[in-house]
Amino acid sequence: MKICATFKLEKQRSRSTMLRVTSASLCASCQRMRLLLSPSVSASSGIPPIKREENQRTVSSLYELSVDIRKVRKFKGWVLSESTAYVSETADVLRDMGADAAVIARILETHPEAVLCRPEEVIAQRDLWESVCSSKRTLLNIIEKFPASFFSVNHHSNQRANILYLQSLRLCKRIISKLMASAPQSFSRPVESNKEVIHTLRETYLDLGGDEANLRIWLQKLLTQNPHILLRPAEAWRDSLSFLREQGFTTEELLSLVSSLRASIAELKPESMRQALDHIEGALNCSKDELKKVVIQCPAVLYYSLPMLAGRFQGLMDAGMSIKQVKESPNVLELTTQIVLYRIQKLASYGYDVRSGSLDLIVGTKKDFEMTYTKLNLRQQRPLFNPVAPLRSIEE
């Protein structure tokens, strides 16, 4: 019996020892996994990420330039931990372009990643951008507003190729620099992609009856109105135009729509346009020809969602407007219900009842409407002169 008891005791001790060894090895494995896990994985799994030590030289250099370190640490703290940074060199390049201390501080606060670019890359980028800017001051203004676009040095060769291509189209420098600033992705991709889109735009314009002599001006307008136009696939343009042709729009009407919708027509899908047209046709109880007139007068109905269209139309009906009025002035659908109600009340205060007249008085921009009710107010205040009325003296 003593032998059995001794054997059981030894067995239990052995098991406890094995458990301790296993637990210790698991803990060591967990520690190793924490070191290997990326910050994103650590955050998703609940494991606190390991904080990298900041580069004190970078922090000191930014501090000397009056950069708000707390702001950088809050939003782009990883920049401060990079082993190599070119703070003073980047500041020198900006200073050479005419930037004062306040401007340099603002740029580096907004886009601290700029200090990670090698000086020769920044200088090459400066020379490239100066080729499409009228002056260093103009370039500096662009860098202040779009620092991320300027410091995208990884796609320098693609940027150069795209600039040369757009210059070959005789587009003005102002248009090209605006595109580079507000749509840098267009210049980061291979030039062949942009050539395909421009070719499609050219074909579209000429197929719709446009004049080759006015092509450059038309392109510049499109690019100015929507700088992201080059990012739209060429197929999207073809699909949208093919659908509208099927609806019976003439080439002249299509050209008008393309010009009105700017590059937004490439964002429209045939199915969504079909739903919008069906809804307008049913709500306004109009024929195909009347529907086309509505779309030409108010192209925005093609890209409004069904809930938005239905809500605005119902708001007009609730305000006492008639279907005939909406059909005659479809641009009123571009206004929110709140704006419509405000303008109706404003005109009513001057004695004009929109429900018995035209909706043209309430459509348009805020400036347009202000001019309208100002004229009504003046007309109300100014007495009408009656040439046959007897003249009265002051004494009378």
- Answer whether 158's CB lies under 8 Å from 189's CB: yes
- Answer whether 289's CB lies under 8 Å from 249's CB: no
What pLDDT digit, counting tens, does each position of 299-321 carry? 989 988 899 999 999 999 999 99
With a pLDDT cut of 90, the percent of the chain lying above it is: 54
How far apart CA 217 and CA 256 sit, in angstroms, is 15
Burial state string for 263-277 with b = 16 or more CB within 10 A and e = fewer than 16: bbbbbbeeeebeebb
- Answer whether 130's CB lies under 8 Å from 98's CB: no
The pLDDT value given to residue 384: 47
What pLDDT digit, counting tens, does each position of 78-133 carry? 999 999 999 999 999 999 999 999 999 999 999 999 999 999 999 999 999 999 99
What ranges do the domains of the chain cover? 53-153, 154-264
- Answer whether 237's CB lies under 8 Å from 200's CB: yes
Residues 6+ apart with CB under 8 A from 137: 98
Burial state string for 338-349 with b = 16 or more CB within 10 A and e = fewer than 16: eebbebbebbee
386, two tokens: 């009656």
Radius of gyration of the chain measured on its C-alpha atoms = 34
What pLDDT digit, counting tens, does each position of 351-383 carry? 888 888 889 889 988 888 888 878 776 555 545
- Answer whether 149's CB lies under 8 Å from 181's CB: yes
The neighbour count for residue 363, using CB atoms within 10 Å, is 21
- Answer whether 128's CB lies under 8 Å from 142's CB: no
| Counts of helices then strands in the chain (DSSP H, E) | 22, 0
Q: Provide the mean pLDDT of the chain.
A: 83
Classify residue 117 as exposed, middle or buried by CB count within 10 Å of its CB (0-12, 13-18, 19+).
buried
How far apart CA 56 and CA 61 sit, in angstroms, is 8
The pLDDT value given to residue 262: 66
**Structure-token match 């405000």, residue found:** 342
The pLDDT value given to residue 234: 79
Please give the torsion angle defined by the CA atoms of residues 362, 363, 369 and 375, in that order, rounded to the nearest 10 degrees: -60
What pLDDT digit, counting tens, does each position of 197-246 carry? 899 889 888 888 888 888 899 888 888 888 888 888 878 888 888 899 89
How far apart CA 212 and CA 67 sit, in angstroms, is 52
Interior angle at CA 263, CA 261 and CA 265, nearest 5: 60
